[in-house]
């Protein structure tokens, strides 16, 4: 099948590469000529495990192409995927200007039937706005051409996006047109072989499903972080509580790990956008507000714990950070807990020495060169002369460190584990004071 993808960001590239991998003819369109030049020269503008190889193989096979020519994109594909950004507006709502701009472009250039597929995360009612925009563009041309708008939300986890696309838990298709549903079923057939994962529903339900999924996962994280703060005060161990409640199949173990807050491009933005949608229809979403408030407070917890260890004065101190990305296997630092911690430390007069396996360039892009930030060449270098080590991202390579090396390299033997990935007994046995989330501090015997 011939497929056009508008937007060559995270969702667009993964979608395009995976659709090309199963034999489709995919043309990716983007307004950024530098990004397109990079992709055409063999580069990839984002980090996602396996994506560079997937793009390279399909480019070489001629199934995946990149261009800035929007008119050619509209002419190319029966399926017109809209996978552009929907950044939060000032009031927290999703900014649809890029989505509607693509819809306008399609309406200006389409010459035959097209299926517009909303792949971007968009609020309820967006498909109606897309359809209105296309009709308006057609009216300006004095044309009447048939088209459909489908909601097909993505459920891709950063760091595991290719696996999620190739072997999805579910494929949501929102449409009221049975013919369109069957065309989407045919497109997704290679990913839907051993059991039927495709669910057809009305457009508005499909749009809400994406927000509902992310809001539910964010709620589980904030609930567990709320419990961790209670556990620490009352003298309980949140990790034992986690095992105790996770054994209940109605709760499960996923997304109940305590930590220093969620970040990234989805959860924070989508929870806020859903809040804004609710208020827009006259409903006050109290639980969603609490989820976001708990997460905001949790991101400040690491700084508060450090500040308490230094009697409220961090001026002149050097703090080592392991992990900058909001989660492992990505370089994404959008709304990452590391950013809240670093910016609080700088405001307090402290210096940061940080290391992340893949997010160093992203940190340089965000913060540039500054005297109070050292981006170390490796995890050990980040420790040199620091007054404390804070683990902010649960990268695999941080899970079994040399505790004695940490103790000997730090100026002060203080380790703050913001993701509870280490064993307190091993840390204290090596002479480290160990702080974590939802557990009492552990000190050397």
Catalytic residue positions? 266
Cα 219 to Cα 288: distance, rounded to the nearest angstrom = 8
List CB contacts of 127: < 8 A, sequence separation 6 or more.
Answer: 118, 149, 150, 151, 174, 203, 204, 207
The pair of three-digit structure tokens given for residue 110, joined into one six-digit string: 């389409």
Q: Which residue has the tokens 């995919």?
A: 26
* Residue 97 structure tokens: 């200007």
Instruction: Name the region of 261 (left: φ>0; alpha: ψ -120 to 50; beta: rest).
Output: left
Long-range pairs for 338-342 at CB < 8 Å and ≥24 separation?
Answer: 338/392, 338/393, 339/263, 339/366, 340/261, 340/299, 340/300, 340/303, 341/260, 341/299, 341/302, 341/303, 341/390, 341/392, 342/367, 342/373
Residues 6+ apart with CB under 8 A from 38: 44, 45
Helices 267-280 & 203-234 angle (0-180, nearest 10): 120
Sheet holding 79-82, edge to edge: 64-67, 25-29, 2-6, 79-82, 114-118, 147-151, 171-174, 198-201
* Six token digits for residue 313: 């004065």
């Amino acid at each position: 099948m011939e497929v056009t993808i508008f937007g060559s960001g995270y969702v667009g590239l993964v979608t395009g590469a995976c659709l090309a991998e199963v034999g489709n003819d995919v043309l990716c369109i983007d307004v950024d000529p530098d990004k397109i030049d990079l992709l055409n020269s063999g580069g990839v503008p984002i980090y996602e495990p396996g994506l560079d190889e997937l793009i390279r193989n399909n480019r070489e096979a001629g199934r995946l192409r990149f261009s800035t020519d929007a008119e050619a994109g509209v002419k190319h594909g029966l399926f017109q995927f809209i996978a552009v950004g929907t950044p939060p507006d000032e009031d927290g709502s999703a900014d649809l200007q890029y989505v509607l701009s693509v819809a306008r472009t399609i309406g200006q250039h389409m010459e035959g039937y097209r299926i517009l597929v909303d792949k971007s995360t968009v609020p309820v009612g967006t498909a109606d706005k897309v359809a209105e925009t296309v009709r308006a563009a057609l009216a300006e041309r004095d044309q009447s051409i048939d088209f459909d708008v489908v909601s097909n939300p993505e459920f891709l986890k950063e760091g595991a996006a290719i696996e999620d696309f190739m072997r999805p838990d579910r494929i949501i298709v929102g449409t009221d047109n049975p013919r369109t549903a069957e065309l989407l079923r045919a497109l997704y057939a290679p990913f839907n072989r051993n059991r039927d994962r495709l669910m057809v529903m009305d457009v508005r339900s499909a749009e809400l499903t994406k927000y509902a999924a992310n809001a539910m996962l964010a709620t589980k994280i904030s609930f567990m972080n709320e419990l961790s703060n209670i556990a620490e005060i009352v003298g309980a161990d949140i990790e034992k509580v986690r095992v105790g409640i996770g054994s209940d199949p109605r709760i499960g173990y996923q997304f109940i790990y305590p930590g220093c807050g969620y970040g990234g491009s989805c959860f924070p933005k989508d929870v806020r956008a859903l809040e804004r949608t609710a208020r827009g229809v006259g409903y006050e979403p109290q639980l969603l507000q609490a989820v976001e408030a708990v997460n905001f407070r949790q991101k400040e917890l690491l700084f508060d714990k450090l500040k308490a260890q230094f009697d409220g004065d961090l001026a002149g101190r050097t703090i080592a950070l392991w992990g900058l990305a909001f989660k492992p296997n990505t370089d994404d630092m959008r709304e990452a807990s590391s950013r809240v911690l670093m910016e609080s430390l700088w405001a307090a007069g402290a210096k940061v020495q940080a290391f992340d396996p893949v997010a160093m360039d992203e940190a340089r892009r965000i913060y540039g060169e500054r005297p109070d930030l050292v981006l170390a060449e490796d995890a050990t270098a980040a420790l040199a002369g620091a007054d404390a080590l804070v683990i902010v991202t649960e990268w695999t390579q941080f899970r079994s460190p040399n505790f004695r090396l940490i103790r000997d390299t730090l100026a002060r033997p203080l380790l703050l584990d913001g993701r509870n990935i280490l064993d307190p007994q091993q840390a204290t046995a090596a002479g480290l004071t160990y702080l974590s989330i939802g557990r009492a501090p552990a000190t050397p015997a």
